[in-house]
Structure 1
């Protein structure tokens, strides 16, 4: 498990890129909890947040609005954030997100 080592990368972080499997609806609650825990880290307070709602190519994948709701992004008031629908395997939405 890599999560305990994430803190090693927090100093001087200017942006967070969080990738969510939009087709794994069962794990979205875990993804939301992990995401909001990361946002509470003191060393990440100033970082902007880019969320990739990935695996849009799979049937049943939630769209960006549904992922926004599932991750409770509306609760993020103190920083810039954006969400982009992506398909890493097709290369869709990745550059749009990084350009943001």
Structure 2
């Protein structure tokens, strides 16, 4: 199969989006340190390289770009070299879920962004008044994306979500380049991502 034939040193560029206080930075540090870390609001963006061992025993490096809405010059356009998008929503706030829906659909309807795999992370599922995954899917008017219920504090659901995102990325890359190694990265790709996020 395609997945079993890929090397174990894959590295992917992931843009992490979501409204403020959705838990993006908490998710990043939970994945990186495997523990809860108190965070402060992101001023512009964070970037972290995180190695994850997936269910098939392959070690994958996800290079996350944690972007704060309304601060990046990219607006609704994500960098061309983005392999996938992680979009966080808060499971306990219907009003903010509606706002997140507007931003999410704005991003995914741009022609340049279409086809990029999107993982919806429904954070704060540990709270008693949280919406169910099916309720969130209905509120977001879900397209063919994957919604993963999670808790950033405990880490529940995060690895499962990354495994699903990884599968979606590999299938897309293989469809685009069926006769090439989809894991081969272009020189300067990280520079291009950094340049995009740093420009005003």
TM-score (norm: length of structure 1):
0.84
Residues 1:65 and 2:134 are matched in the alignment: yes
> Is 1:32 matched with 2:96?
no
Q: Select which of 61, 64, 83 maps to 2:147.
A: 83
Q: Is 4-13 or 19-28 further displaced after alignment?
A: 4-13
More helix by share: 1
Structure 1 residues 39 and 9: CA distance shift in structure 2, 3 A: closer
Runs of 4+ deviating beyond 6 Å = none
Q: How many residue pairs get matched? A: 95
Q: Give, in whole Å, the separation in 2 of the partners of 1:52 and 1:90.
A: 14
Is 1:93 paired with 2:162? Answer: no
CA RMSD of aligned residues (A): 1.8
Could you tell me which runs of 5 or more consecutive residues in structure 1 were left unpaired when the two chains were aligned: none
Q: Is the 8 A contact 2:78 2:113 kept in 1?
A: no
List alignment gaps of at least 5 residues for structure 2.
Answer: 1-67, 165-200
Answer yes or no: is the 8 Å Cα contact 1:50–1:97 preserved in 2: yes
Q: Contact conserved, 1:22 with 1:53, CA < 8 A, in 2?
A: yes
In 1, Cα distance between equivalents of 2:119 and 2:153: 19
Give the secondary-structure state (helix, strand or coil) at the position aligned to 1:20: strand
